Amino acid sequence: MALLEVQHLCVDYPVRGGLFRKKKFLHAVNDVSFFLEEGETLGLVGESGCGKSTLGRTLVGLIEPASGSIKLEGREFAGRENRAARRALCGKYQMIFQDPYGSLNPRLTIFETLDEILRRSEKGADKNQRRAKAAELLKRVGLDAQLLDRYPHQFSGGQRQRIGIARSLAAHPAFIVADEPVSALDVSVQASIVNLLDDIRRETGTSFLFIAHDLAVVEHISSRILVMYLGNVVESAHSHELIAHCRHPYTEALISAIPRVDRSKGGRIVLQGDVPSPLEPPQGCPFHPRCPYATERCKMEKPQLTEVSPGHAVACFHALQK
C-alpha cells in the first residue's frame, strides 16, 4: 500500500460574475490521480497557473477539494466530512512554502516559530528540552544553534528557507509538500537546498511531493515525475524514462527548455499561442490549441491518462498512436 493515494481529485474556485450573471468556477485541478511511496520524492512540474500549488495545498488541508479522495496510510481525510481524521493525521504531513520571506512570522524568534510545532509534537517535554530539540533541527538544516533567538529579518532568503524546512521537520511528518522551495532563491543557493531535501529523505525516510516549474531541478531530485497542464496530469513516468523517452508534446517542449551543452539532439521547441483560461478550458484535449499534432479528434474528445509502458502513462492521442 502506498503512503499517499490520490484518486480523481478536483478543486474548483468559485468566481463571481456580477449580480445577474451565473456563477462560474475555475477548474484548478481536474480529475488528478497518483500515488506516493514511502521514502520517495515525486516531482510535479508545469508552467505557472497549471494548478501545481493548488494541488499541494489541497493535500495538506489548506484547500477543500470539490470531489475526489486523498488517503494517507490508508485513511481518508479529504472533504469536510473527514475533518476529524484530518486533525488526527495533521502531524503526518507538512508543507514548505515558496516564499521564504512571507512564510515566517516576523514577530516571532526562530525558537518561538519552531516551538509552536514542538509543543504539539514533543508532548511532555519542558521548554529546555524543546529548546534543545529546536537547536538540533537548526543544526540538521545547516544553521548554527546560537541563532535561535534571532528574528526572520536577520536572515537571508536561503537561511529563511532552511528555517522553513526545520519547521516542517519538527512534527516528524511522513510526507512533506515542497511548493517551489527554491524558485525565490539565488541560483547559487538553490542546489544546496535541493541537496538538503534529498539528504533528509535518505536519512529519515520522509516522502516529498516536490513542486517546481523547472524540469531540470525536478529531474535532479525526483524518482518519478508528473507533468501538469491546465489542471490535468498529461504525463507521468520515472524521471530517467520521462527525460529520455517523453511522449506528450507539452513534455517535449518543457524538456527542450532545459539548458544543455550539447544541442545536437534538437533545439528549443517554442509553443505557439497562450495558455487557455481555466475559466473557459477548451473542449477536448486541453493542450490542442497549442499542439502541433492536434487533429479533429483532439478538438472534440479529451484523452485519458493511459499507460504506454510499465510506469509510463500519457494523455495524448498522437502519443498513443506511436
- Runs of H (alpha helix) within the chain: 52-59, 83-89, 110-121, 127-140, 157-169, 187-204, 215-221, 239-244, 249-256, 296-300, 317-320
pLDDT on residue 268: 77
Kindly write down the DSSP assignment for every residue of 255-268, as one continuous string. Answer: HHTS--S--TT---
Place of cell 477539494: 65
Q: Is the pLDDT of residue 15 over 90?
A: no
**Upper half-sphere CA count for residue 188 (Cβ side, 13 Å):** 3
CA distance 188 to 170: 27
Give the pLDDT band (50/70/90) at residue 174: very high
Residue 67 Cα to chain centre, angstroms: 19
Burial of 262 (0-12, 13-18, 19+ CB in 10 A): exposed
> Which pLDDT does position 264 carry in this prediction?
56
How confident is the model at residue 18, as a pLDDT? 66
User: Distance between CA atoms of 239 and 220, rounded to whole angstroms?
Assistant: 8
Is a pLDDT exceeding 70 seen at residue 169? yes
Cα Rg of the chain (Å, integer): 21
What pLDDT was estimated at residue 90?
Answer: 79
- Average pLDDT of the chain? 90
- Report the pLDDT value the prediction gives residue 222, as an integer from 0 to 100: 95
What is the reported pLDDT for 213? Answer: 87
Instruction: Say if residues 209 and 175 touch (Cβ distance below 8 Å).
Output: yes
Q: What is the pLDDT of residue 88?
A: 78
Burial call 143-176: b when 16+ CB within 10 Å, e when fewer: beeebbebebeebeebbbbbbbbbbbbbbebbbb
**Cα(240)–Cα(243) distance, integer angstroms:** 5
Q: For 276, which DSSP code? A: P
Q: Is the pLDDT of residue 263 over 60?
A: no
Owner of C-alpha cell 516536490: 210
**133-151 average pLDDT score:** 95
What confidence score (pLDDT) does residue 257 get?
A: 81
- Tens digits of residue pLDDT in 227-261: 999 999 999 999 999 999 999 999 999 998 877 66
Contact 125, 118 (CB under 8 A): yes
